[in-house]
Amino acid sequence: MNALDTLVAELARLPGIGRKTAQRLVYHLLHHGPERFTSLAGALEAVRDHVQPCGECGQPTEGETCGICSDPRRDRGLVCVVEESSAVGVIERSGAFRGHYVVLGGRLSPLEGIGPDSLRLGLLERRLDTGEVREVILATNSSLEGEATATWLQQQLARRNGVRVSRLARGMPVGGDLEYVDGVTVTHALTAREELR
Amino acid sequence: MNALDTLVAELARLPGIGRKTAQRLVYHLLHHGPERFTSLAGALEAVRDHVQPCGECGQPTEGETCGICSDPRRDRGLVCVVEESSAVGVIERSGAFRGHYVVLGGRLSPLEGIGPDSLRLGLLERRLDTGEVREVILATNSSLEGEATATWLQQQLARRNGVRVSRLARGMPVGGDLEYVDGVTVTHALTAREELR
């Protein structure tokens, strides 16, 4: 395979990028000259060489400990458990959470051979062992596997006395149109309806 | 700016990739381990180091001359002029053309300061000087600037005796729904309507 085809194939391995889009990206880079190849390759190598999981929460960071874990103003009593580090960004942008995170790095999936050993449960254990944690918020995705992971974690956490376990509320997305919301979500939204007074 | 933000910014410079998509791509790569960074960076560097414009037609290639220009079975009497090398792929996939190409590397755009000097007109001149060319097919895009480039080229080529100049037919896209075709295209399709007999 020649260099162009290799690059197209390499880009097409990325999610949401098909062969045609990959080709368009390569033509774009070629059009803009060699320095674009250098800067993108350099940025990739910098992340490969300098970014590793934070020793406390597991999200990718450049130092030993990420900015969230090393921020003394954040509440160490609240731990939010997410599947992937992308979820940390989503929750941080909401501005509604000032606690800490644990990034599992996946969710239980027997079909894909992902058991508890594949997840970063050690980080969660270590947090709990400090005795500082008052509440664990299970913020795994609302998929079948995310729900199964949350249920499994809930059972594991039941052994810990004095630690509340909660789950993100499920219901209508704010600004969401009822017409475009699936039946399971509507069922949740109905079951967990909030009384107005 | 840290390594992660730099990579996100670098990816977000690509067309059709916004900040959010760029972040998703970076998380995807992080999830799949360091070898993905290495292979993508390597593929970028290989293209940067080994790919240059073909000396005869201008499309990116690894050797001196691209596979199309060095193919003796192709008709040197037919030259198809396109704006970008991406168009070569589109025409090649149609299988309807067995001649040669000249890739201009852009289109005339006075607003962006792109004049004739910025295009690879030398390649076209050199082709014509061989005396082998019977017909030049102007296949610049059907945009305002693409049309202006075609018109300008047509005037330049008028000086060349014995060289036919043609333009890609304009009309309804095959399989296209009249409802989704713009007015200018419909006008062309009506004006250039083909009689059925």
CATH assignment at residue A32: 1.10.8.420
User: Are A97 and A155 in the same domain?
Assistant: yes
User: What confidence category does residue A68 fall into, taking pLDDT thresholds of 50, 70 and 90?
Assistant: very high
B28 and A14 within 8 Å at the Cβ level: the answer is yes
Contact A4 B60 (CB under 8 A): yes
Chain A residue numbers with beta carbons less than 8 Å from the beta carbon of B42 are 41
Geometric angle at alpha carbon A46, from A44 and A121, rounded to 5°: 90
Domain count, chain B: 2
B82 and B122, same domain (yes or no): yes
Closest CB from B10, B25, B44 relative to A14: B25
Each residue's pLDDT, cut to its tens digit, for chain B (197 residues) gives 789 999 999 999 999 999 999 999 999 999 888 999 999 999 999 999 999 999 999 999 998 899 999 999 999 999 999 998 888 888 888 888 899 999 999 999 988 888 888 899 999 999 999 999 999 999 888 888 888 999 999 999 988 888 999 988 878 777 777 777 777 888 777 777 777 66
On whether both B89 and B157 belong to a single domain, the answer is yes
Q: Which domain holds residue A111?
A: 75-163
Show which of B12, B34, B50 is a domain's final residue: B50
Same domain, B159 and B89: yes
How far is it, in rounded angstroms, from Cα B148 to Cα B140?
9
Predicted pLDDT at B8: 95
B183 inside domain? no
Within-domain flag for A27: yes
Asked, for residue B193, whether it belongs to a domain, the answer is no
Domain membership flag for residue A185:
no
Average pLDDT over residues A175-187: 77
- Nearest CA-CA partner of B194 in B170, B165, B177: B170
Strands (E), B43-188: 52-53, 60-61, 75-82, 99-103, 135-138, 164-167
Other residues' Cβ atoms within 10 Å of the Cβ of residue B190: 10
Are A159 and A79 within one domain? yes
Same domain? For B95 and B158 the reply is yes
B86 and B159 fall within a common domain: yes
- Does any domain span residue B120? yes
Selecting from B2, B17, B36 the residue whose C-beta is nearest the C-beta of A62 gives B2
Beta strands in chain B (DSSP E): 52-53, 60-61, 75-82, 99-103, 135-138, 164-167
Q: Do A81 and A32 sit in the same domain of this protein?
A: no
d(CA B163, CA B135): 5
B27: in domain: yes
What does the DSSP 8-state code read for residue B110?
G
- Residue A151 covered by a domain: yes
Residues of B in contact with A6 (CB under 8 A): 43, 46
Q: What is the pLDDT of residue A122?
A: 93
The arithmetic mean of pLDDT across residues A94-109, rounded, is 91
Whether residue B178 is contained in a domain is answered as no
| pTM for the full predicted model | 0.75
Return the residue matching tokens 């049309």.
B147
What span, in angstroms and rounded, lies between the C-alpha atoms of B103 and B101? 6
CA distance to A136, B114, B125, B155, per residue, from B120 (Å): 63, 12, 9, 17
Q: Using pLDDT thresholds of 50, 70 and 90, give the confidence band for residue A182.
A: confident
Q: Are residues B144 and B108 in the same domain?
A: yes
CA B189 – CA B169 distance, rounded (Å):
9
CB A135 within 8 A of CB A164: yes
Whether A19 and A83 map to the same domain: the answer is no
Residues B11 and B89 occupy one common structural domain: no
Out of B14, B30, B49, whose CB is closest to A25? B14
> Is there a contact between A106 and A114 (Cβ–Cβ < 8 Å)?
yes
A-B Cβ pairs (cutoff 8 Å, strict): 126
Q: Is there a single domain that holds both residue A89 and residue A159?
A: yes
Average pLDDT, chain A: 89
Provide the CATH number for the domain around residue B135.
Answer: 3.40.1360.10
